[in-house]
Amino acid sequence: MVFAASEHNYVAPFYVQVMFRDSDGYPMGTSTDPDNIVANTTTSALVVDGIIDYTAAVIDNPVVTDFGSQKVASKTYLPAVAYGTPTIQFSRMNETFWAYTKTALVDVTTNTTRSSRGDNVSQTRFPPFMVALAIRVTNADTGMPQWDNICYLNARIRNTVSPGASAVMSSVVNPNPLQFGLELALATRDITGMLLSAMNLDVENDLDAVIRHRSDNPLAYTTWIANGAATTFTLGKLPVSAGATGAAQNFITKNGAVTAVTSVSITTGAVVVAAAGTTGDIWCVAYETQKLGA
């Protein structure tokens, strides 16, 4: 199917995916030290289930008004001074995600019969993440279901509402949910690894905080750091397509440039590249899948 600009209606949020972001703006999956990843490492996004509500950011663009002689002479619109704070609400606690946002660990070794985690109330370091929301939509032109993958390219995540607990006196839905806010910053690179300047977006100064990718299936994200010898890596989820051109349902980049591969397996998720390349090459794959959730 060839995509064209269309209209669509938002239906419901299904999944949140979180990736650590390295200093060059690449998605580095669940690697907690994204600038120091061992070669021949494959890492994928953490999929967080249980989203019940998503509130988009309200962008604050200042307006300078020239007012005189009892009339408005002109208005000048300036670049945003704040990018808003999108909020995501979950019905349940994901301990791994919690630890990521707290720059802490889930301790299951001190006492192997329980898990322990801290709130890290003295926290001063909030690492940058890439955050992708898979939102189910309906294409208004065709009536077919699709997905809007809303990708925040440079976000600090803060827990804004922690779960409480109260007596349950009658049937309730999603009691005491958690809420997280995303503090946004600009980025030069998309979640696919491409520079925004290399895409046909025409965004101001080739910078943006959020990019939306509409697709027939939800997108998953895997990154492989090559070691100059291996020619195969495995995706974190199974793709719906075996396309190996690099520019279709399996969108593949090497060091930010769209690159074809030899093959992609829909049964094992294995990706074979044509040549081993150089140690430290960054392969990013944003691919459609029907098995994003658990």
DSSP string, the chain: -------EEEEEEEEEEEEEB-TTS-B-TT-SSTTSPPSSEEEEPEEE--EEEEE----B--EEEEEETTEEEEEEE---SB----EEEESS--HHHHHHHTT---B-SSSTTS-B----TT------EEEEEEEEEEETTT--EEEEEEEEEEEEEEEEE--------S--SS-S-EEEEEEE--BSB-TTS-BGGGSTT--GGG-BSEEEEEESS-EEEEEEE--SS--EEE-SS-BS----SSBSSEEEEETTEE---SEE-TTT-EEE-SS---TT-EEEEEEEBS----
Q: How confident is the model at residue 1 (pLDDT cuts 50, 70, 90)?
A: low
Contacts of 162-166 spanning 24+ positions with Cβ under 8 A: 163/93
CA distance 11 to 45: 23
pLDDT 10s digits, 128-140: 999 999 999 999 8
Which residue, among 232, 291, 294, has the nearest Cα to 264 in the 3D structure? 232
Distances (CA, A) of 146 to 40, 47, 134, 180: 34, 19, 10, 26
**pTM of the entire predicted model:** 0.93
CB 190 within 8 A of CB 153: yes
Model pLDDT, residue 294: 64
CA distance 161 to 240: 37
Cα 40 to chain centroid distance, Å, stands at: 22
Q: Is residue 45's pLDDT more than 90? A: yes
Model pLDDT, residue 164: 84
Model pLDDT, residue 2: 75
CB 284 within 8 A of CB 261: no
CB burial string 211-229: b at 16+ within 10 A, e below: bebbbbbbbbbbbbbbbee
Domain ranges of the chain: 8-67+75-216
**Which pair of structure tokens corresponds to residue 1?**
């199917």
Q: Is residue 34's pLDDT more than 80? A: yes
Mean of the per-residue pLDDT values of the chain:
94
Its CATH architecture, for the domain 8-67+75-216, is Roll (2.30)
